[in-house]
Structure formats: structure tokens, C-alpha cells
């Protein structure tokens, strides 16, 4: 048998080649008419820049992979939640906690790098709230004030001053009661009366709630959902409420504050001179480190 490329092999005539080409062209025209697209149109159409769409089995396999990944992610989140320690019963849940599912207490902000929040609890106070407002104004810092309803009712002008300065006022119950120890009706009354007092004083309805002592329960969270109040906790507790000293408060805040931290301080509930003094040190130092304050 001879090779096609050996010398002397007869070549295909030009007429045969033309006839074959005509048959191919007729076949393409017929196929194009069957699809409603001519060869010219196909040639003019831009080619897809990305990969072709996967076939139906590929899409099914992709969906299965996503489902497996989603289940794996949920399982990891559940294990991480189970490994986390329970919140402390008194004055907060401490550092190391992150927001869980929607409707759960918020322990950290998620608003970009170097963003933090300062929260001031248990006021308003006719003695310490004005001093803290002066410091915040001096350094251009906004804060979130968790106010007790009966204090708002007693000092509505101070609450209005806080709101007028651009700070956020949120609900901290009527009397600073531990809601987990109350009957459902009493618990709901503590929250609703505080909201009413804040709205009456400031003409603004609270949109967030902080549980006294950081004591949350399913019933408290359900009440928050019903009243459309986002539950707010904290991640940095310098224990200023215990008056450990200005140096201890300052050191605690500077050591534990990082991007997303929610810092807990107090302007009510007792002598808060140490808190005011500590803030006069802490605020400029945090600003020098590049932190940006926002309301919670």
C-alpha cells in the first residue's frame, strides 16, 4: 500500500474539490435555516467571553456541592457556638463574643476596620452626663447612651440634650431590672415603659435595647423582636461601675479595644467621677491610634 504523499500519486481534480465544497455549504445552510440563524449571523455574533453554561448534570452537581458547603458552614458555626462560654450573669458577657444569627445580641460592630462604639449606661445623670457630653464634644466623638426610663422621666431635658448633640439613645429598661427574673408581663412592661419615656422626652422612638447585667433570655429576645428593638450587648467591660480606679479603667480599655469593639461605660447608678476622668485619657488615645467612633 502506498503513502498519500509519495511522488507520482494522482491528485484530486479541482472539479471534485469544488463539488465537495458546495455540498458542505448546502449542509450548513440547511442546518442554519433549521435553527433560524444563518451562517452569516453566526459569524457576526460575538463569542461568549466566559465559559460555556454547564450542562444540566453539572448544575445539579454544583447545587449539591453548595448544599454540602452550606451544611458544613452551619455545623462549624454550631460547634463554635457550643465551644463559646456562656455570658456572665452580672455586668456583661465579656470579650470574645460575636453576633450570632439575626435577632441575637450584638457584641461587636461589623462596619470596617478601626471602627468602634462607646456606650454609656444607666443615665441620664444631672451630674455626670453633662461632663461626658462635654468630653465627647471636645474630641468630636459620638456615643450610644443606654438610658433607664425612670431617669429619663426625672431628667427629660438632659435626655433631649444628649439627642440634640447627635448621640443615640437606646432602651435600658424602666428601673434597671434583671428581666430574666421577671414574669413575662412585668418584663414587657419594663421595656415598653422605658421606650415611652424616651419617646416622650426626645420625640424619637428607640431602635435598640440593652439588657441590664447583659442578662438575655429567649423571652427577652422575643420581646425585642416584637417591639422591633435590636438587642445590644458589649465586648469591652472596664468595670467602671465597680470604681476600680482611673488607671485600671484606662488600662482595660486600651488593652482590650480593637476593630469592632463595643465599650461599656456608665454615667448613672452612682459616683462616676472615675469614668469621666478615664474618658478624658482614653478618648484622645484611641483617636491617636486611628480608631473611628460611631453609634452602635
User: What percentage of residues in the chain have a pLDDT greater than 70?
Assistant: 66
Catalytic-labelled residue, pool 91, 121, 176, 237? 121
pLDDT value at residue 65: 37
| Mean pLDDT confidence for 2-19 | 39
Catalytic-labelled residue, pool 167, 172, 176, 266? 266
Q: Where do runs of H (alpha helix) occur along the chain?
A: 14-35, 39-44, 56-83, 128-139, 149-154, 156-164, 184-202, 218-226, 246-256, 273-288
pLDDT value at residue 34: 38
Q: Where do runs of H (alpha helix) occur along 84-139?
A: 128-139
Is 2's pLDDT higher than 90? no
Q: How far apart are CA 28 and CA 291, in angstroms?
A: 68
Residue 102 — very low, low, confident or very high, per pLDDT cuts 50/70/90? low
pLDDT value at residue 103: 86
Which are the contacts of 269, defined by CB distance < 8 A and separation ≥ 6? 121, 122, 176, 241
Residue 152 — very low, low, confident or very high, per pLDDT cuts 50/70/90? very high
What one-character DSSP code corresponds to residue 143?
A: -
Residue 110 — very low, low, confident or very high, per pLDDT cuts 50/70/90? very high
Element (H, E) at 115: strand 115-123
pLDDT value at residue 92: 34
Q: How far apart are CA 194 and CA 214, in angstroms?
A: 17
| Mean pLDDT confidence for 230-240 | 98
Mind listing the domains of the chain with CATH numbers? 115-293 (3.20.20.370)
Residue 235 — very low, low, confident or very high, per pLDDT cuts 50/70/90? very high
Pick 42 or 251 by higher pLDDT. 251
Closest by Cα among 259, 264, 251 to 293: 259
pLDDT value at residue 160: 98
Q: Are 287 and 116 in contact (CB under 8 A)?
A: no
- Active site annotation includes 266: yes
Q: For the whole model, what pTM was predicted? A: 0.68
Is 266's pLDDT higher than 60? yes
15-24, 59-68, 192-201: which has the minimum mean pLDDT? Answer: 59-68
Is 43's pLDDT higher than 70? no
pLDDT value at residue 208: 98
- Active site annotation includes 58: no
User: Helix (H, G, I), strand (E, B), or coil: what is residue 205?
Assistant: coil
CA 131 to chain centre: 31
Residue 232 — very low, low, confident or very high, per pLDDT cuts 50/70/90? very high
Closest by Cα among 276, 278, 270, 222 to 246: 278
Q: How far apart are CA 273 and CA 240, in angstroms?
A: 10
Is 138's pLDDT higher than 60? yes
Pick 155 or 74 by higher pLDDT. 155
Is 128's pLDDT higher than 50? yes
Q: How far apart are CA 12 and CA 216, in angstroms?
A: 91
Query: For residue 124, with 0-12 CB atoms within 10 Å meaning exposed, 13-18 middle and 19 or more buried, which class applies?
Result: buried
Mean pLDDT of the chain: 76
Is 104's pLDDT higher than 60? yes
95-99, 116-120, 221-225, 246-250: which has the minimum mean pLDDT? Answer: 95-99
Which are the contacts of 98, defined by CB distance < 8 A and separation ≥ 6? 107, 108
Amino acid at each position: 500500500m502506498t503513502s498519500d504523499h509519495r511522488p507520482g500519486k494522482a491528485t484530486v481534480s479541482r472539479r471534485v474539490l469544488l463539488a465537495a465544497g458546495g455540498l458542505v455549504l448546502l449542509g450548513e445552510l440547511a442546518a442554519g435555516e433549521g435553527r433560524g440563524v444563518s451562517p452569516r449571523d453566526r459569524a457576526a455574533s460575538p463569542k461568549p467571553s466566559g465559559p460555556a453554561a454547564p450542562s444540566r448534570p453539572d448544575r445539579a452537581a454544583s447545587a449539591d456541592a453548595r448544599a454540602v458547603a452550606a451544611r458544613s458552614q452551619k455545623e462549624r458555626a454550631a460547634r463554635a457556638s457550643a465551644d463559646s462560654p456562656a455570658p456572665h450573669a452580672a455586668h456583661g458577657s465579656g470579650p470574645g463574643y460575636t453576633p450570632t444569627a439575626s435577632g441575637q445580641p450584638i457584641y461587636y460592630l461589623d462596619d470596617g476596620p478601626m471602627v468602634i462604639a462607646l456606650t454609656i449606661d444607666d443615665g441620664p445623670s444631672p451630674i455626670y452626663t453633662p461632663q461626658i457630653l462635654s468630653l465627647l464634644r471636645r474630641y468630636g466623638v459620638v456615643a450610644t447612651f443606654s438610658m433607664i426610663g425612670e431617669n429619663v422621666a426625672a431628667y427629660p431635658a438632659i435626655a433631649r440634650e444628649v439627642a440634640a448633640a447627635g448621640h443615640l439613645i437606646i432602651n435600658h429598661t424602666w428601673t434597671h431590672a434583671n428581666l430574666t427574673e421577671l414574669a413575662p408581663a412585668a418584663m414587657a412592661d419594663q421595656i415598653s415603659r422605658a421606650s415611652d419615656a424616651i419617646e416622650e422626652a426626645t420625640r424619637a422612638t428607640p431602635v435598640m435595647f440593652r439588657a441590664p447585667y447583659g442578662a438575655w433570655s429567649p423571652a427577652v429576645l422575643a420581646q425585642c423582636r416584637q417591639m422591633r428593638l435590636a438587642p445590644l450587648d458589649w465586648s469591652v467591660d472596664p468595670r467602671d461601675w465597680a470604681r476600680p480606679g482611673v488607671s485600671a479603667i484606662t488600662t482595660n480599655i486600651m488593652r482590650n479595644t480593637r476593630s469592632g469593639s463595643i465599650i461599656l461605660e456608665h454615667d448613672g447608678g452612682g459616683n462616676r467621677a472615675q469614668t469621666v476622668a478615664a474618658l478624658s485619657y482614653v478618648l484622645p488615645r484611641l483617636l491617636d491610634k486611628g480608631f473611628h467612633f460611631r453609634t452602635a
